Chain A
């Protein structure tokens, strides 16, 4: 019974929305902008064949993964450095503030000039936009380290790599994860935009092509596919986060179990 109830809670509203959508589009005159759910489902299957997936979707996803990996690497390494060295932070903070405030999409034309139109430009755009949340959160996480633990490791003579591995990284991990979560959505947005602006293949390019040729149901199927990619990414991230921060969530539960 309880199982049934929780399943109901999960599916009730989506089903309700689907029914409303169906009723709104299936009867009366045909709506030019909004396809019926059945038509959309058919179009989705027809449009995103294996052939198109390999030509347009997988290259996009590869660029996205490279961009995310690059942002995580650069963000954490630079964040650890800047967070640990006080004068370095003071030196770089205003400049970083300025760069963070530039809407990353604006840099697409700039990077097109400097790097050219290619995969590396798109990866660079993704990194340039997605690195800030990770970098700034890592800096904050390193700075907010517990002083007692920090002093204790010093007293015990734990330094260098071990200090980073056993003290700094675990301390900053929750903050870093929060940063990565924000970066994922930014990276996805920039992947699409960079393909809309200057590309001859890719998911963003394809969707714009559909729109320009007024292939409305195909365009919607592209939007749905982007949505699915976003949802899957967020789901994978939650799994990874649960693994990485298992000790932390356990600790919180103990603390909150009053």
Chain B
């Protein structure tokens, strides 16, 4: 065993692409790989024999050629002492483990809150700078009854939504147009690769000069940052279209629009959804950042006010609120993604497993 040994199991992105570390993405990747691998096997058939032995050793035969099959290890229980159960026993254990997981997760959250509560109370950290958890949470609940708080949340969400809609629409349209032609892709590649790593916050001074504390300041940053996330994913997706499917569509006489609708779009949709999910998180970060630094209305501006006014309890309460908002956005995006991609095999196999 050397580290040259490849592993089937690393369903790493074929090209480094942002995966928020979600299980779904790895599933998609694994599926692509498995489909790809099995396709290759059929197509290559006996050409494999011409490959030298070392390569064959390197070519791992997929352990799960059928993605819907339960993942059983070839090495059955016995030598390893790790049983690979299947059927009802496995389902029972799985459900029991689900309950256990939830319980442990709650325990972890509780442990975090208790630690936070005790740090200032025991005086390890100055309580003036870190109020106990109970104080911050009480303040958060007090906020929930205040109109000003909801107004700030509304402002934040409005900027987030508007920026997302603009960025996703522009990126999707451009992505489909550029991706569908090799010439255009090569023509724009250098510019895209150059503009993408430019940090969006570099534009903060420009936004301040152009728009001051108006909402457009935040929009400029949000749109710039989210746009690239979505565009890159759409380009990957369009490039991933299966040649055989494309040629089949052509020979069946499907026109360009029908091909876009029935071949390119379904292939690209999972990538597009990934891009949108990543952009959603980035857009929230930039909305709050713009409010914090520039002072556009919203939660970030409230935090800056609380900090400069020295009301630290309120500041921690607002930080908790932004965290909850982030969790909520992540959850909603996941749900939307599952709904939209319910036909996609990566989502379907999750139910089976």
A: residues with CB less than 8 A from B are 6, 9-14, 17, 33, 87, 90-95, 97-110, 112-114, 133, 135-137, 139-141, 144-156, 158, 165-167, 169-175, 177-179, 181-182, 185, 188-189, 192-193, 196-197, 204, 207-208, 210-211, 216, 219-220, 222-223, 226-227, 230-231, 233-234, 241, 247-248, 251-252, 254-256, 258
In the bound complex, do residue B10 and residue A189 qualify as a contact, i.e. CB atoms below 8 Å apart?
no
Of the listed stretches B16-24, B137-145, B256-264, chain A binds: B16-24
**Given A14-B191, A145-B7, A158-B1: 5 more A-B contacts, CB < 8 Å:** A95-B109, A97-B330, A133-B20, A230-B198, A247-B6
Of A13, A135, A177, the contact of B188 (CB 8 Å cutoff): A13
Shortest A97–chain B CB gap in Å is: 6
Name the residue on A nearest B13 (C-beta).
Answer: A178
Assuming the A-B contacts A11-B190, A113-B129, are A155 and B16 also in contact, with contact meaning beta carbons closer than 8 angstroms in the complex?
no
Q: 9 A-B residue contacts at CB 8 Å?
A: A103-B285, A175-B12, A178-B13, A178-B18, A219-B205, A230-B197, A248-B6, A256-B40, A258-B43
Q: Tell me whether B87 is interfacial, beta carbon within 8 Å.
A: no
Of B71, B112, B319, B325, the contact of A107 (CB 8 Å cutoff): B319
In the bound complex, do residue B79 and residue A155 qualify as a contact, i.e. CB atoms below 8 Å apart?
yes
Q: Give the complex CA separation of A180 and B40 in angstroms.
A: 31
In the bound complex, do residue A171 and residue B303 qualify as a contact, i.e. CB atoms below 8 Å apart?
no
Name the residue on B nearest A235 (C-beta).
Answer: B197
- Chain A residues positioned under 8 Å from B281 (CB to CB): 101
- Chain B residues positioned under 8 Å from A147 (CB to CB): 9, 63, 71, 73, 75, 84
- Chain A residues positioned under 8 Å from B252 (CB to CB): none
In the bound complex, do residue B108 and residue A95 qualify as a contact, i.e. CB atoms below 8 Å apart?
yes
Assuming the A-B contacts A178-B13, A226-B199, are A136 and B82 also in contact, with contact meaning beta carbons closer than 8 angstroms in the complex?
no
The 5 lowest CB-CB distance pairs between A and B, nearest first, are: A174-B12, A146-B9, A101-B326, A136-B21, A211-B205
User: What count of chain B residues pass the 8 Å CB interface test?
Assistant: 102
Interface residues of B in 196-214 (CB under 8 A from A): 196-206, 208-210
Assuming the A-B contacts A91-B104, A140-B21, A192-B199, are A208 and B73 also in contact, with contact meaning beta carbons closer than 8 angstroms in the complex?
no
In the bound complex, do residue B104 and residue A114 qualify as a contact, i.e. CB atoms below 8 Å apart?
no
- Chain A residues positioned under 8 Å from B193 (CB to CB): 234
Name the residue on B nearest A136 (C-beta).
Answer: B21
Interface residues of B in 273-327 (CB under 8 A from A): 281, 284-285, 288-289, 292-293, 300, 303-304, 307, 312, 315-316, 319, 322-327
Assuming the A-B contacts A33-B209, A158-B1, are A151 and B203 also in contact, with contact meaning beta carbons closer than 8 angstroms in the complex?
no
- Chain B residues positioned under 8 Å from A208 (CB to CB): 204-205
Assuming the A-B contacts A33-B209, A230-B199, A247-B6, are A148 and B14 also in contact, with contact meaning beta carbons closer than 8 angstroms in the complex?
no
In the bound complex, do residue B80 and residue A154 qualify as a contact, i.e. CB atoms below 8 Å apart?
yes
- Chain A residues positioned under 8 Å from B169 (CB to CB): none
Shortest A67–chain B CB gap in Å is: 14
Q: Give the complex CA separation of A149 and B5 in angstroms.
A: 10
Q: Tell me whether B74 is interfacial, beta carbon within 8 Å.
A: yes
Of B6, B12, B55, B107, the contact of A91 (CB 8 Å cutoff): B107
Name the residue on A nearest B102 (C-beta).
Answer: A90
Of B21, B106, B198, the contact of A133 (CB 8 Å cutoff): B21
- Chain B residues positioned under 8 Å from A93 (CB to CB): 101, 105, 108
- Chain B residues positioned under 8 Å from A156 (CB to CB): 1
B: residues with CB less than 8 A from A are 1-14, 16-23, 26, 30, 33, 36-37, 39-40, 43-44, 55, 58-60, 63, 71, 73-75, 79-80, 82, 84, 100-101, 104-109, 111-112, 125, 129-130, 186-191, 193-194, 196-206, 208-210, 281, 284-285, 288-289, 292-293, 300, 303-304, 307, 312, 315-316, 319, 322-327, 329-330
In the bound complex, do residue B40 and residue A101 qualify as a contact, i.e. CB atoms below 8 Å apart?
no
Q: Give the complex CA separation of A103 and B108 in angstroms.
A: 21
- Chain B residues positioned under 8 Å from A182 (CB to CB): 18
Name the residue on B nearest A207 (C-beta).
Answer: B205
- Chain B residues positioned under 8 Å from A248 (CB to CB): 6, 10, 12
Shortest B268–chain A CB gap in Å is: 19
Assuming the A-B contacts A192-B201, A211-B205, are A109 and B303 also in contact, with contact meaning beta carbons closer than 8 angstroms in the complex?
yes
In the bound complex, do residue A92 and residue B108 qualify as a contact, i.e. CB atoms below 8 Å apart?
yes
Of A108, A151, A166, the contact of B5 (CB 8 Å cutoff): A166
